[in-house]
A and B are shown apart, each in its own frame.
Chain A
Amino acid sequence: MKTRMKRAVTGFIIGLVAETPAAYAACEDNVDNVEAYYVNGMFTDFSDFEANRQAISKFISGYLAASNFNSDVKGTHNISEGAYNQVMEVAKQKTEDGNATKKQAVLEFINGDYDYLNSEEGVAAVQEYLEAIKGAYEYTLNEEDGLKAKQGLEELLDTCSRVVMITHSQGNFYGNALLNGVYASYHFPNGYALAQFPMLGNMQIASPVNVPGGAAASLYPELIGHLTNDNDLVMRLVRSTRGSVPSNFNAPDIEADKSGHSLEKRTSLSMVKPELLRPACTRSADLLNRIRSTVKVAQAPQPLAALAIRLSVGFWISVLTLAVFTVTTRWTIAFSMGCRTLLHKAPFSTAAFVETTASRSSNEPLG
């Protein structure tokens, strides 16, 4: 019996020693890959969540095909059950007490429709409703959703890929909490802390938070991107109810989304013709390579900044799609500015990460 156990333990140790460097080597191979992780906002049912996730996937495969972005977008459906029950209770009260216009406005808001924005009474009713649910709206990490999302992010980080968390609307409260939570505790399979090799970023879209990224924003400012349209009417309402970060994008009005708030429609993920963008993306990828080779810096684009720049540029492009002749110029300018930012601000080099990972994995395998 003892002999059998000894054999088993020896076999396990040999297996571990033999397997670990290979596993780390595979892990290192992913270091320049970028994974996207989507977290939705409140009043987003599963079908909305899934349609958004698929729209981001299509956006990546359509416009960022030349990059290392994986178009298979992962994510967690933020149900926020506790908060959800509270906001529905308040909705019940509001629809029972209010007149037909008020009732309709609240029903539209919780269904993700926006016709209420066309009437002052409707807007006032939603503002009143938002004021009443303020506490629940700011509710951050529901235990179950939070654990699921944290686990999802950590599984991606375990592959040594860079991860960009895309958070929308109320999901940005969630994004802040997740970002700080994961930075505080996560260690790569080789034992290094995420804080040492910051491979997780957060792109906040239509953000109602005060400081996108929260505390992590002061430590890794280049890892946090934020994009809120100046014509996002829902965010305007939220901002008037609670202090939120100001809008930072001068967006045109899009007929398909009069609210300026929808993730897919507003960011035009589905409305721009890929064939118009692909040449511009390819040209910009070439430009990036030229800049890299010129300055001879072996640095990979840092993920969030890359996404922030590319997405915001993507928005610009989508906005300017009708004026094709201006697209290339503006995109190239923006991208070249972005490239300079990447080269100067990247917090660590890929080479350094690979080197330390390799030496650590061969010398000190961690069990």
Chain B
Amino acid sequence: MISKRTILILMCVLGAIFSGLANALPFSQMPKWRPDKIYRSGDVVANQYDIYVALLPSKGQDPKTSRLWRKARYSRTVNYQINKLYIPAAVVKQGEKFYLALHLNVPLAPSSIFETRHWLEFTHPSLSYSLPDPEATPDNSTLLGKDSNQNQIRDDYEIAVAYSDLPPEVMDAALTAGKTYGQLMASGSTTTVDASTARTLLEKSVRAEQCKRQMAAAHGGSTWKESTFFNTVERVQAKYSLQNMLATVAGDQRLPVFDGDACYSLTNN
């Protein structure tokens, strides 16, 4: 017969496994702070670009300015250790996962991280991407805009995509498409574009469109909006006229029908 002790151990192991399998709460799905709501200590809210943990009960206290809230410290992420004191809003990493401390606590065992009373598994855009400052004013006065982290994706587009509620796969594809859109815009300031370059860039633009549709089909309509990138009439005009220019330079030959994974092709070519 199985002893009580064995059952208990089994339950603990299974509990640890299943709590470990719980999905991380994405930033986009965190509850937004509401001024009319009463919050208790350990509650978590999202406010614009950040996550806040309630230190004490409050109502109507703006997390951005109140001392009753503390901003999650994802910029100071540390590896999870037992027998160490963690303050509320501390962010720890265990394996590939990130956890937010909800209360002051000292984990005594590796499995303590699964105690949902003290810890919340979560994701935040800044944990996966090196993002530009989301509070910075976007530069919409030029076609190219600003790319402060120099990753070939315009800042405001990158931030909008990274903080959106798109599924991770769609988000990655949207950022890759953003690079293609940026290359299209940059072709406008290049003095000459030869036929081969024009054709390559056109093919990439078509692939970005096909990838967008592929993602919509795979994720129940969830895909990115081109208006996030082409967010001024001047940029929309440039999109149309630069593609027309590239098509003229590339010549009349039709592009071959592409039958593969458009997003894979977009990322790897």
- B-binding residues in A (CB < 8 A): 45-48, 50-51, 53-54, 57-58, 71, 74, 77, 79, 84, 88, 91-92, 95, 104, 107-108, 110-113, 115, 255-258, 264-265, 270-271
Which of A50, A57, A79, A91 neighbours the largest number of chain B CB atoms within 10 Å of its CB? A50
A46-B246, A88-B233 known; A258-B226 Cβ under 8 A: no
Q: Does B217 contact A (CB under 8 A)?
A: yes
B217 touches A46 (CB 8 A): no
In angstroms, Cα B206 to Cα A54, docked, is 10
B243 touches A270 (CB 8 A): no
User: Looking across the interface, which residue of chain B has its beta carbon closest to that of A51?
Assistant: B209
Q: Does B149 contact A (CB under 8 A)?
A: no
A104-B227, A111-B226 known; A88-B206 Cβ under 8 A: no
A91 touches B233 (CB 8 A): yes
A46-B244, A84-B240 known; A113-B221 Cβ under 8 A: no
Q: Does B76 contact A (CB under 8 A)?
A: no
Contacts of B237 in A (CB 8 A): 88
Q: Does B136 contact A (CB under 8 A)?
A: no
Task: State how many residues of chain B have any CB contact under 8 Å with chain A.
Answer: 32
A265 touches B216 (CB 8 A): yes
A46 touches B226 (CB 8 A): no
A47-B243, A258-B221, A270-B217 known; A111-B233 Cβ under 8 A: no
A256 touches B221 (CB 8 A): yes
B243 touches A108 (CB 8 A): no
User: Looking across the interface, which residue of chain B has its beta carbon closest to that of A109?
Assistant: B227
A45 touches B221 (CB 8 A): no
Contacts of B239 in A (CB 8 A): 45
Contacts of B244 in A (CB 8 A): 46, 77, 79
Closest chain B CB from A259 CB (angstroms) = 10
B231 touches A107 (CB 8 A): yes
Contacts of A113 in B (CB 8 A): 225-227
Q: Which of A48, A92, A256, A264 contacts B220 (CB 8 A)?
A: A256
- A-binding residues in B (CB < 8 A): 202, 205-206, 208-210, 213-214, 216-217, 220-221, 225-227, 230-233, 236-237, 239-240, 243-244, 246-247, 254-255, 257-259
User: Looking across the interface, which residue of chain B has its beta carbon closest to that of A116?
Assistant: B227
In angstroms, Cα B225 to Cα A107, docked, is 10
Q: Which of A47, A84, A91 contacts B208 (CB 8 A)?
A: A47
Contacts of A91 in B (CB 8 A): 233, 236
In angstroms, Cα B240 to Cα A44, docked, is 8
In angstroms, Cα B257 to Cα A111, docked, is 24
A108 touches B206 (CB 8 A): no
Q: Which of A46, A111, A256 contacts B202 (CB 8 A)?
A: A46
Which of A74, A77, A107 neighbours the largest number of chain B CB atoms within 10 Å of its CB? A107
Instruction: Using A54-B257, A256-B220 as known contacts, list a sample of 13 further A-B pairs with CB atoms less than 8 Å apart, ordered by residue number in A.
Output: A46-B247, A47-B205, A54-B210, A54-B258, A57-B257, A77-B247, A107-B236, A115-B225, A255-B221, A256-B216, A256-B221, A265-B216, A270-B217
In angstroms, Cα B266 to Cα A193, docked, is 47
Which of A57, A256, A271 neighbours the largest number of chain B CB atoms within 10 Å of its CB? A256
Closest chain A CB from B127 CB (angstroms) = 27
Contacts of B214 in A (CB 8 A): 270
A264 touches B240 (CB 8 A): no
Closest chain B CB from A226 CB (angstroms) = 24
User: Looking across the interface, which residue of chain A has its beta carbon closest to that of B216?
Assistant: A256
User: Looking across the interface, which residue of chain B has its beta carbon closest to that of A264?
Assistant: B213
B213 touches A265 (CB 8 A): yes
In angstroms, Cα B214 to Cα A50, docked, is 15
In angstroms, Cα B246 to Cα A47, docked, is 11
Closest chain A CB from B216 CB (angstroms) = 4
Contacts of A92 in B (CB 8 A): 233
